[in-house]
Amino acid sequence: MQVVTFVAKRLVAMVAVLLAVSLLVFSLLALSPGSILATLVGTQPTTPELIQSIEERYHLNDPFLVQYWHWLVNALHGDFGQSIQSGEAVTTMVVDRLPVTLGLAAYALLIVLIVGIPAGMAAGMRRGRPFDRGVTAVTIIGMSAPVFTVGILLIYLFGVRFEVLPVYGAGEGFAGRIEHLTLPALALATGLTAQIVRQTRAATLNVMEQDYVTFARARGLNRYRLLIPYALRNTALPMVTAAGLMLIGAISGTVIIETVFSLKGVGSLMIESVQAKDIPVVQGLAIFIAVLVVLVNLLVDLLSMVIDPRIRQSVKV
């Protein structure tokens, strides 16, 4: 019962956050340079019929809050208007490009988890040894390297110098998609992997200093016997939290990576829309990102409650 109430409270908080974000996002139209009508007309030929149609569609003759209410009702039905550039529905444009972005983010997160968690735990269990020092040095380099620089370096090495992987487009089919997204995912995962290695190492160091681990060592358990029952289980909670942040960071990082590798995803759509001042598309993308962030945060909270019973017991209704 406590868990259900906790989830209900979180859902109410999520709705409140999304309403606040939606108001800020809608304000982009009012804050855009020039008149709202000129922004929505864009480069289209100006005709009385077009002006009347835009005024009726966006309720431009109504007060600001009335305009926001109509926009919010349409947004709840999945209607964010039409692109100023192409005239295509914003929802259709986002849905068409979404698979590339989600696939890239998921691929990068998979690399981060497979490489970062074992490396961080191994470094934490070998504190002060050459392996730990080497991992620490590599993570410093990974965190300091800009993502677009890593992307360009990977393009040169594996696309130009050795020509082993494609560097352009998203590919066709599952195998083609994996092949084309490998370099972008590696570029996106480099900095994120360095972050989770450091966080996992810190969590492992904290666990290895606990009394129960000292007692286990006194019983004669070696390092590998300590790995799963002690280190992995007790570092799972901070790693889940870090993984949620990494997923949000991976989605945000696609804005740069998709431009570097010429991928037709949500990130490149955001860049194109901002450059063209296509406000309806920017509004739709901003709402999509906000929804994704609050859902990831909710998922992290639920997983944390599953992993650690103490969190469930501490939930107050």
Which range, of 112-116, 225-229, 240-244, 267-271, averages the lowest pLDDT? Answer: 225-229
Is 315 strand, coil or helix?
coil
Alpha helices in the chain (DSSP H): 2-31, 36-41, 48-58, 64-76, 90-111, 117-125, 130-144, 147-154, 173-208, 211-218, 223-226, 233-260, 266-275, 279-307, 309-314
For residues 281 and 78, what is the distance between their CA atoms, to the nearest angstrom? 13
Mean pLDDT, residues 59-85: 83
For residues 118 and 91, what is the distance between their CA atoms, to the nearest angstrom? 40
Tell me the two tokens of residue 254.
């696609």
Mean pLDDT, residues 156-183: 84
H-helix or E-strand spanning residue 302? helix 279-307
pLDDT exceeds cutoff 70 at 34? no
DSSP string covering 207-227: HHTSHHHHHHHHTT--HHHHI
Work out whether the CA dihedral 87, 80, 36, 266 comes out positive or negative.
Answer: negative
Q: Which residue has the higher pLDDT, 269 or 60?
A: 269
Mean pLDDT, residues 191-201: 87
Instruction: Give the count of alpha carbons within 13 A of 22, CB side only.
Output: 20
Domain limits of the chain?
1-85+276-317, 94-270
Q: What is the mean pLDDT of the chain?
A: 81
State the pLDDT confidence band at 35, using cuts at 50, 70 and 90.
low
- pTM of the full predicted structure? 0.80
pLDDT at 14: 86
Rg of the chain, C-alpha, whole Å: 24
Rounded percentage of the chain residues whose pLDDT exceeds 90: 3
pLDDT at 186: 92
50 Cβ contact list (under 8 Å, min separation 6): 41, 44
Is 78 strand, coil or helix?
coil
Tokens 């309720």 belong to residue: 59
Rounded percentage of the chain residues whose pLDDT exceeds 70: 84
Is 100 strand, coil or helix?
helix
* Structure confidence by residue, pLDDT tens digits, 120-150: 888 887 888 888 899 889 998 888 888 888 8
Q: Which residue has the higher pLDDT, 314 or 305?
A: 305
Considering the four listed CATH numbers 1.10.3720.10, 3.40.718.10, 2.60.120.920, 3.30.70.980, the one that applies to the domain covering 94-270 is: 1.10.3720.10
pLDDT at 311: 65
pLDDT at 317: 46
Contact 297, 11 (CB under 8 A): no
pLDDT exceeds cutoff 60 at 315? no
Mean pLDDT, residues 111-122: 87
* Structure confidence by residue, pLDDT tens digits, 214-252: 676 677 666 666 666 666 666 677 777 777 877 887 887
pLDDT at 7: 75
